């Protein structure tokens, strides 16, 4: 069993509590790199508490070691058992330990916003009341904003948190053709904003 690492940067009288997730699909490695680079040199948050999960999925492929797409395994109202393809949502909703970990975390904390990092669609997708956060995010990561990714996502994390629990939830799909170090700097500034200003 691989345990999931969570780094809690807490502020005793925080204004907002935020959650940032790096790698949701195992082959989209960038988020973990951005988070770890930032955490190496960052100081205590001045305004908010931010929890970071650099890597949720410890497999190096899109799906986890059980062959399940974690972003289709959440116990949402629209979960359906799918074909066993790249987007296979499991035999049952909430069957995967990574998903159970997040479900427990979200039940046990009142997050004001959640940000997940994916690639490669170059878009800021939001679920729930996250338009304001999406606009603020766009100042750092200059992608188009959409509330509709353009294909069905039954059992997705965005549906679970944003649509069904009204937690502002962003899915930042990075542009994998952009220089990684330039993107890393942009995300560093964005994380600083999340901790100290948002």
**Residues marked as catalytic:** 173
- Residue with the two structure tokens 């959440």: 74
Q: Which is nearer to Zn ion, 63 or 118 (CB)?
A: 118
Q: Which is nearer to Zn ion, 48 or 125 (CB)?
A: 125
CB of 176 to Zn ion, least distance (A): 11
CB of 157 to Zn ion, least distance (A): 10
Instruction: Report the residue number whose CB is nearest to Zn ion.
Output: 118
CB of 54 to Zn ion, least distance (A): 15
Q: Which is nearer to Zn ion, 9 or 118 (CB)?
A: 118
Footprint on this chain of Zn ion (rule: CB under 5 A) = 25, 28, 118
């Amino acid at each position: 069993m691989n345990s999931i690492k969570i780094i809690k940067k807490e502020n005793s009288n925080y204004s907002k509590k935020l959650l940032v997730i790096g790698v949701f699909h195992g082959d989209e490695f960038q988020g973990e790199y951005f988070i770890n680079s930032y955490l190496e040199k960052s100081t205590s948050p001045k305004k908010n508490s931010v929890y970071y999960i650099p890597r949720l999925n410890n497999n190096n492929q899109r799906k986890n070691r059980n062959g399940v797409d974690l972003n289709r395994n959440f116990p949402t109202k629209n979960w359906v058992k799918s074909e066993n393809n790249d987007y296979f949502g499991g035999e049952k909703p909430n069957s995967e330990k990574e998903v159970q970990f997040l479900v427990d975390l979200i039940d046990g904390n009142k997050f004001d916003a959640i940000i997940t990092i994916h690639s490669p669609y170059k878009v800021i997708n939001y679920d729930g009341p996250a338009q304001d956060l999406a606009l603020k995010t766009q100042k750092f990561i200059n992608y188009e904003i959409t509330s509709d990714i353009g294909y069905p996502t039954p059992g997705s994390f965005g549906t679970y948190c944003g649509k069904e629990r009204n937690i502002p939830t962003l899915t930042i799909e990075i542009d994998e053709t952009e220089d990684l170090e330039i993107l890393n700097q942009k995300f560093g500034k964005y994380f600083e904003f999340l901790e100290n200003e948002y």
